[in-house]
Structure 1
């Protein structure tokens, strides 16, 4: 087999494996990375590098693997935009965590979100009590957004590592 065709097939296989693995482990894991998660990502990238290029450690081999990954990602995003069923397989829907002050225990349990994680998100949004939360959602990017019923309070969306504040009055 052509060594570059082998790299293309290997790279595509690794890409789809990683997409499915990330889909299985869930969106919460992507948003809140701790030290162990960063180490895992680094080790995974190192382990799959050999699986993609095999014995070819040349510049061309690496460029071909990177080009295949970018190409697949580009095509997959176009397909997801066009076909809703494929999009819904790869992208989760937002999940309601608190509705009108009432915690959705089944959802929290299924998503493995602890009460401390939820309280942390509430503190980040300036909310002290569950009863003050009109709506809390686990967004598709893994962040928790909180809307209060008090129109005098500011509503913000907090992202780890980079704060993005959106004020609604």
Structure 2
């Protein structure tokens, strides 16, 4: 078999294995990595490196594996945009954790988030206690968004802008 085709197929297999692994083992806190999570990611990357490039340790082999991963991710994002079933399989739905100061303990357990982790996130958003939270949502990317009441019970939230790609079509 052509060594570059071999690298391409191996890289695709590893990419889709990792997507499935994240789906099965959860990704609810990917944006809030602790030391154990970082170690796990480093070990996984080291473990799958040889699975992607095999005996080919050349620069071209490594660059091809990286290119295949970028293209696979790009293709998956396009498929997710066009096909809701694929999007639903890969990404979870947002989960409401707090609504009008009331903590949804069932949603907390289902999302495998402890009460202490939720309280810490609420404080990180500048809110003293969960009673002052109008809405806290576990987003699909693992972040927890918090919208709070101010002292007059008016809604207060912080807006985060996402970069958008405004390329012109030629």
Task: Give TM class, smaller chain.
Answer: 0.7 to 0.9
**Which structure 2 residues correspond to residues 18-97 of structure 1 after superposition, within 5 A?**
18-97=18-97
1:8 equivalent in alignment to 2:8: yes
TM superposition score normalised by structure 2: 0.85
In structure 2, distance between residues paired with 1:56 and 1:16: 21
Q: How many residues align?
A: 159
Matches within 5 A, 1:94-133: 94-133=94-133
- The SS at the match of 2:158 is coil
Q: Which residue of 2 aligns with 1:144?
A: 144
CA drift of 1:29 comes to 2.8
Q: Any idea what the Cα deviations from partners look like across 1:141-168, whole Å, max 9, x if unmatched?
A: 21111112335674236xxxxxx59xxx
User: How far apart are the structure 1 equivalents of 2:158 and 2:79?
Assistant: 32
Deviation for aligned residue 1:108? 0.3
CA distance in 2, matches of 1:106, 1:8: 43
CA distance in 2, matches of 1:24, 1:90: 10
TM-score with structure 1 length normalisation? Answer: 0.86
Gaps of 5+ in 2: 162-170
Runs of 5+ unmatched residues, structure 1: 158-163
Measured after TM superposition, the shift of residue 23 of structure 1 is: 1.9
